[in-house]
Structure 1
């Protein structure tokens, strides 16, 4: 049963927000892996094989844009959808250069985030397996 769950990799350094996201997503039958920060995003992504990666933009040492670029420029992970969220609005950040699939400004509506994650996860699973799975 666990293998049927949609998987989300969350990279968030705020403990309260990462706990909230994990709780909400797990209540909706997602399997979550939460990281505060990782230079090893490619290794973790390849090991966990998420259906979607959820990145905070403001992270210590390497921001979400840089992490997203590592994922999107790697042949084995480039098709995994990435959502970046930030307290900075799209008008302050050149999001067209981020290579992410979706950008969401904070504070965000949790239902909008969940809807985007669901769409991306289902699309990725369909693309990866050629089969539409719920």
Structure 2
């Protein structure tokens, strides 16, 4: 059974690339461009990993990560945060994420990180 990946990013091009690359790697991918009801989506989809964009038009990936980690049923799911703001003064580990990948991201780095984190799960 393939591992399930939930991806939240408000950039449709990034969603398409991530979906294509991870689907090619035999992951089942669910993408969304809105943070509205993201916890409900996660409860229904049962992902093995969540990928969140840090800066969203309708939210903040760091805050969403905290919400996921605070939820009893979702807290063990590894989270990767994508961010174009790596050099800014943001304490990403404080959100509870297992990894941060800078944008623009390297596809091999993404696949390797997803594989590493889903093997642990």
TM-score tier, shorter chain, comes to: over 0.9
SS at match of 1:53: strand
In 2, Cα distance between the equivalents of 1:62 and 1:17? 17
> Normalising by the residue count of structure 1, what TM-score does the alignment of the two structures yield?
0.86
Contact 1:54 1:83 in 2 (8 A): yes
Runs of 4+ in structure 1 deviating by more than 2 angstroms, as ranges, are none
In 2, Cα distance between the equivalents of 1:90 and 1:40? 30
Pairing 1:74–2:105 present: no
- 1:71-94 deviation per Cα after TM superposition (whole angstroms, max 9, x unaligned): 000001000000001001155311
Contact 1:55 1:85 in 2 (8 A): yes
Structure 1: unaligned runs, 5 residues or longer? 125-134
In 1, Cα distance between the equivalents of 2:21 and 2:110? 11
1:19 maps to 16
Higher relative contact order structure (alpha carbons within 8 Å, sequence separation ≥ 6):
2
Rg: which structure is higher? Answer: 1
Pairing 1:59–2:56 present: yes
Across the aligned residues of Structure 1 and Structure 2, the Cα RMSD in angstroms comes to 1.1
2:115 maps to 118
In 2, Cα distance between the equivalents of 1:90 and 1:65? 15
Count of equivalent residues = 121
1:104 maps to 101
In 1, Cα distance between the equivalents of 2:116 and 2:87? 21
1:81-92 alignment runs, 5 A limit? 81-92=78-89
Structure 2: unaligned runs, 5 residues or longer? none
